[in-house]
Amino acid sequence: MNKKITLKDLGPKDYKETWDFQTDLLTDIIDIKRENRRDNLSKITPNYFLFVEHPHVYTLGKSGDQSNLLINEQQLKDKNATYYKINRGGDITYHGPGQIVGYPILDLENFFTDIHKYLRLLEEVIIKTLAEYGVKSERSEGETGVWLDVGTPFARKICAMGIRSSRWVTMHGFALNVNTDLGYFDNIIPCGIRGKAVTSLEAELNRKVDLEEVKSKILNHFQQEFEVEEFLSEVQL
């Protein structure tokens, strides 16, 4: 079992390019697993963790409802935003500048084979990261992601999550609103959930937050929760 993860910060990058890159990594891992089974080999499968900051984009999960996008194609262009229907779980969400997007491309057979546990640990990573800023966040039953003030009229989502898994290899991941322009969420029904607001770390703290600092905290908690042996940031993909 390989519990080392290659870390790659892609910086600002187009959504479709990143989606294709994730797919290539996932395919390569699956090819190794198929070869191992076919030829009775024991080649190690790699794991990856991608950080990225996307230009304005709306993405709709495979079971999502397109009517949750509230603007048309021309309005998308006017807002300098793009739209993709993609192969993750979940409904519609927004990605944009000031948001930390994390894509773990893991062979879960290196860790544990439990998708429910995987999602709960991803949520725990974000919950513990936010706690370092004095922000108390939690899960909302039946609604994947990380929320504030659950069960009150002020419930608001700060981190969306949606994944895909094939042969226990994951792709897609989480999107944490740090210094995000929340106005872009007005153009959708976020995650298909009506009547719930969204927020950001900046909005909660009333100040800009250093993205690199948040990324570092996320990695620390990810390493603890997933019992990662080592992040290999020096490896170039």
Q: Tens digits of per-residue pLDDT, 102-114?
A: 999 999 999 999 9
Q: Tens digits of per-residue pLDDT, 43-91?
A: 999 999 999 999 999 999 988 899 999 999 999 999 999 999 998 988 8
Residue 235: which pLDDT band, with cuts at 50, 70 and 90? very low
Residue 90 is labelled as binding a ligand: yes
Residue 118 is labelled as binding a ligand: no
With helix as H, strand as E and coil as C, how does 53-67 read?
ECCCEEEECCCCCHH
Average pLDDT rounded to a whole number, residues 36-47: 96
* Residues 60 and 69: beta-carbon distance below 8 Å: yes
Active site residues: 191
Residue 88 is labelled as binding a ligand: yes
Q: Which helix (H) or strand (E) holds 217?
A: helix 211-225
Q: Which helix (H) or strand (E) holds 38?
A: helix 15-39
The pair of structure tokens assigned to 5 is 């993860």
Please state, for a pLDDT cut of 90, what percent of the chain lies above it. 88
Residue 142 is labelled as binding a ligand: no
Residue 173 is labelled as binding a ligand: yes
User: Cα separation of 196 and 203, whole Å?
Assistant: 16
Q: Tens digits of per-residue pLDDT, 113-169?
A: 999 999 999 999 999 999 999 999 999 998 899 999 999 999 999 999 999 999 999
Residue 237: which pLDDT band, with cuts at 50, 70 and 90? very low
Residue 96 is labelled as binding a ligand: no
Which residue segments constitute the domains of the chain, with CATH numbers given?
4-232 (3.30.930.10)
